[in-house]
Amino acid sequence: MKMTDDPLNTDQKCAYSYAQLFESHPQAMWVYDIESLQFLIVNDAAVARYGYSRSDFLNMTIRDIRPQEDVPALLESIATGPRGHEESGVWRHQLKDGRIVFAEISSHPFDFEGRSARLIMALDVTKRLVAEQKSREGEELFRAVASVTADVIWDWNVSTDAIWWSDGLKTVFGHSPEESRRNLEFWKTHVHPDDRERVLRTTQTAMDRRQQTWKDDYRFLRSDGSTAHVEDSGYIIYDHQGNPVRFVGGMTDISARKEAEDKLTQQAALLDLARDAIIVHDID
């Protein structure tokens, strides 16, 4: 005779499995009572991350892990927020040692032992937000420096091929930075045709060889079709695998210097052809 599973035993097994899943989940999780805001259960990750013992948590409410100045916003969110599944954004949480972290909160309402409750998943995003803030500050500083320099500053995202030009592109060469910020094709088509292959080869070689810096002199076409002599140099940033991800640099118009050097070269050649003796001596 075939024995069938005991329904009660099966339910108990499922409940035990869900409890194990909750306890061992690597993300901080807890359940709180919607009416009193008291913690009802917390998992091991929450205990480890926040520094409170399990008994500490069960004697606290969710107000107690918020900085005091954030509590009114918390209460307002609870009073006016949606009743279903909710992605409530990023909130500040205070650890037992007083440190403040940023947690991205997801929650879901359910009935817990006859009480209206919410299951919370709290993902610590502090490091990510700090990195993003530093990146924004770095970008702002970069843009500020670019706005006050006489050179043309450029920033090429190698991964996406997007390129950013400073307003110097308009001032120095007459090109609109906005119209030129699509991809690298603008720069390629404005490198003088006789120099293009060589310059493209030197940039690719620098990245293939994992060089940190690159520099080249070439001719660049202005918006009116005239030719400028430029000195271009860049700094290459690589990822952990050694792939180039960003190429930042500056382009200087050296046309006046180039013309002066050419004139000096021509004058020297003419002096060499002169039949008369030419003597240069110290004035003293």
Q: What is the mean pLDDT of residues 247-259?
A: 88
Alpha helices in 100-254 (DSSP H): 126-148, 168-173, 185-190, 193-208
232-244 burial: b if 16+ Cβ within 10 Å, else e? bebebeeeeeeeb
Beta bridge partners of 248: 155, 235
The CATH number corresponding to 150-264 among 3.90.1150.10, 3.30.450.20, 3.40.50.261, 3.40.50.300 equals 3.30.450.20
State the pLDDT at residue 178: 78
3-state secondary structure of 225: coil
d(C-alpha 116, C-alpha 273), whole Å: 102
State the pLDDT at residue 191: 96
What does the chain come to in residues?
284
Q: Which two tokens stand for residue 236?
A: 């290459």
Provide DSSP, 98-120.
Answer: S-EEEEEEEEEEEEETTEEEEEE
Beta bridge partners of 254: none
**Residue with the larger pLDDT of the pair 182 and 111:** 111
Longest dimension (CA), the chain: 128
State the pLDDT at residue 140: 65
* Rounded alpha-carbon distances, angstroms, from residue 277 to 271, 273, 274, 284: 10, 11, 8, 21
Q: Residue 149: which pLDDT band, with cuts at 50, 70 and 90? A: low
State the pLDDT at residue 203: 95
Domains 14-128 and 150-264 share a fold: yes
Q: Give me the half-sphere count of Cα atoms (radius 13 Å) on the Cβ side of residue 17.
A: 6
Is the pLDDT score of 84 beyond 60?
no
Measured from the Cβ of residue 115, the count of other Cβ atoms closer than 10 Å reads 15
Q: Which two tokens stand for residue 136?
A: 């924004």
**Residue with the larger pLDDT of the pair 145 and 45:** 45
Q: Under CATH, what is the fold of the domain 14-128?
A: Beta-Lactamase (3.30.450)
State the pLDDT at residue 208: 95
Is the pLDDT score of 275 beyond 60?
yes
pTM recorded for the entire structure: 0.50
Q: Residue 120: which pLDDT band, with cuts at 50, 70 and 90? A: very high
Q: What is the mean pLDDT of residues 101-129?
A: 90
Contact, 108 vs 12, CB < 8 A? no
**Residue with the larger pLDDT of the pair 107 and 1:** 107
- The domain spans of the chain are 14-128, 150-264
By percentage, how much of the chain surpasses pLDDT 90? 48
